[in-house]
Amino acid sequence: MSGNNRVAVLDIDGKQFKLPVESPSIGPDVIDIRRLYRDARVFTFDPGYTSTASCESDITFIDGELGKLLYRGYPVEQLAINSHFIEVCYLLLYGELPNKNQLDDFDERVTMHTMVHDQMNYFFRGFRRDAHPMAIITGVMGAMSAFYHDSTDISDPDQREIASIRMIAKLPTIVSMAYKYSIGQPFIYPKNNLDYAANFLRMCFKVPPEKYIVEPDIARAVDRIFMLHADHEQNASTSTVRLAGSSGANPFACIAAGIACLWGPAHGGANEACLMMLRQIGSPDRIPEFIKRAKDPSDPFRLMGFGHRVYKNFDPRAKIMKQSADEVLNLVSNTNLPTLEVARELERIALEDEFFQERHLYPNVDFYSGIILDAIGFPTSMFTPIFALSRTVGWISQWKEMVADPTQKIGRPRQKYTGSRERSFTPLSER
């Protein structure tokens, strides 16, 4: 949204530069610095992009102070209760909630693309059985561009659409294949009369000799996890997808880049790291020892599942996830209760502690999600692949928005150079 001719005046050594100030539909105003280098021959400096808006977007909005997350304007809490993942996919991709015909058509299009090219099975055979599933899905997603040449021309809207549907449809199949491969079980084909979450659970947990009945409440909990992870503004992996896409790279390569970035423990890898931390703590009486470590600036240990660049009061997703954890643990027999008991006590102690309060450190989306997935029977190595499966629709929506933007150009940040000034080569004999 354009501003009303408001400007910010930058004074550098007595010379003034006027920078337009623009107002978004919600959130902080922005100072448009696109002409700053041309006019003032200076760069802005913002490592980690703590104060930088990298793009305009209509998709998702986060209010870090109020703990709000909106998908196309709808609060995530309302969607988590009233909607389901395929409907949220439609909303994120096309901007509006679908009517019945639109939803049925979209669901049908996704369902008809859940199988992968049979030749892709051989990709899995090339990995060690103990390969981390994130390594496998990063590779297989990138390899999809070798199979779907008819949907790699990003200038063609129809190809962009079919590539988007293919990735949303096939990620559950690929993620379940990575899991089956790691445990030495045969791949299970998708079943088209199941919904998205139920299909994923069946492909993960069915074995050929046995009938597998999906527990509806568990499928609902998994569907809710998918919805809560679907998109989140310009986080590290989404920014990676946008930057890769800005070069014109094909959509499969861009999403593979997003998966690779998500893997980091500071980002999507935190759910796996958090459950491992809760297990390491083991019992509430050991929590003070870990709180002490988290506060020690000389100790690199951080409380995984705590803190967020944007949320400074609470992560709305964590609140919903916490409720879901209670529901799921009441449903399943193999409850590893100590982790939930440790998580609850850790949250209580941390939220009363000044160090965490001063730094606005609260549980984030990764704090409870691992407990739910663990209780359902997933190994910790599958937590981030499930996050990637959920976030694929967000990455694709953001990528489509960027590619369709007529003002879009390749992303190419500059730097503050602190290296050597120009100098002449010194022959070896003189060094």
Q: Which residues bind ligand SDX (CB under 6 A)?
A: 232, 235, 266-268, 270, 294, 302-309, 359, 361, 364-366
The DSSP-derived string for 242-275 is HHHHHTT--HHHHHHHHHHHHTSTTTTTHHHHHH
Residue with Cβ nearer ligand SDX (110 or 291):
291
CA dihedral 151, 174, 246, 419 (to 10 degrees): -150
Shortest spacing between CB 407 and ligand SDX, in angstroms: 25
| Least gap, CB of 242 to ligand SDX (angstroms) | 13
Which residues touch 61 (CB under 8 Å, ≥6 apart)? 26, 27, 68, 69, 70, 73, 233
**What's the length of the chain?**
431
Cβ 71 vs Cβ 91: under 8 Å: yes
Rounded least distance, CB 122 to ligand SDX, Å: 32
Q: How far is the CB of 370 from ligand SDX (least distance, A)?
A: 11
Minimum CB distance to ligand SDX smaller for 143 or for 243: 243
Q: Considering the complex, what minimum distance in angstroms separates the CB of residue 421 from ligand SDX?
A: 32
Between 62 and 143, name the residue whose CB sits nearer to ligand SDX: 62
Q: Which is nearer to ligand SDX, 37 or 301 (CB)?
A: 301
Strands 15-22 and 6-12: antiparallel
The CA-based dihedral angle spanning residues 46, 47, 53, 59, taken in that order and rounded to the nearest 10 degrees? -170
3-state helix, strand, coil in the chain (%, to 5): 55, 5, 40
Please confirm, yes or no, whether 132 is among the known catalytic residues: no
What does residue 363 show for φ and ψ, rounded to 5 degrees? -60, 140
User: Nearest distance from residue 111's CB to ligand SDX, in Å?
Assistant: 27
From 107, 231, 366, 374, active-site residue = 366
Contacts of the segment 81-86: beta carbons below 8 A, 24+ positions apart: 83/227, 84/195, 84/196, 84/223, 84/227, 85/196, 85/197, 85/223, 85/226, 85/227, 85/230, 85/390, 86/110, 86/195, 86/196
Q: Closest residue to ligand SDX, Cβ-based? A: 307
| CB 254, min distance to ligand SDX, A | 16
Nearer to ligand SDX, 260 or 294 (CB): 294
Q: Judge whether 341 and 282 are in contact, CB under 8 Å.
A: no
Residues 8, 69, 404, 145: what is their CA dihedral angle, to the nearest 10 degrees? 130
Q: Which residues contact residue 239 at a Cβ distance below 8 angstroms, ignoring those fewer than 6 apart?
A: 49, 54
Q: One of 84, 308, 315, 374 is an active-site residue; which one?
A: 308
Nearer to ligand SDX, 96 or 296 (CB): 296
Nearest CB to ligand SDX, comparing residues 35 and 292? 292
Q: Is 229 a catalytic residue?
A: no
Which are the catalytic amino acids? 308, 366
